[in-house]
Amino acid sequence: MKQDTEVFSVTCDRPTPDMNCKVRIDFMIALWHGKRDASTPPWGDRTEFSPLLRMLGDEVAFVIDTVASSVS
């Protein structure tokens, strides 16, 4: 996101001077990684950094354990 990015808008079909609404917007620190396949949801090509890196670490640890246990 960049300075002055529009993040939210509401368009009414008639003048609404007393417009009053409550909005909550979530942002996240995410890493882009591409989709696994076409069935992945539109936002599925990015993941919050912490679980993604933790998952990678778990994966590597799993591989290390598996391969090391094969050594006689």
Partner 1 sequence: MSLDLSSVEAKMGRAADHLNALKDQVGSWRKRDVYALVSHVNPQNTVFSFTLNILNEPPLQDWSLIIGDCISNLRCALDHLIYAIAVHESNTSPPPNEDALMFPICDGPTAFGKKGVQDRIKTLSLPVRTAIEASRTSDRIHRFRPFFPSCGISTTPISISCSAWLLPQSDRGSSTYRLIRFLVPNEIFIPASDMPK
**Count of residues making up the chain:** 72
CB of 49 to partner 1, least distance (A): 7
- State in Å, rounded, how far the first CA of the chain is from the last one: 53
Tell which positions 26-55 bind partner 1, by CB under 8 A: 26-37, 40-41, 43-44, 46-55
CB of 53 to partner 1, least distance (A): 5
Dihedrals phi, psi of 21, to nearest 5 degrees: -145, 165
CB of 28 to partner 1, least distance (A): 5
Beta partners for 46? 32
Radius of gyration of the chain (CA): 22
Query: Which parts of this chain interact with partner 1 (CB under 8 A)?
Result: 1-37, 40-41, 43-44, 46-57, 59-64, 66-72
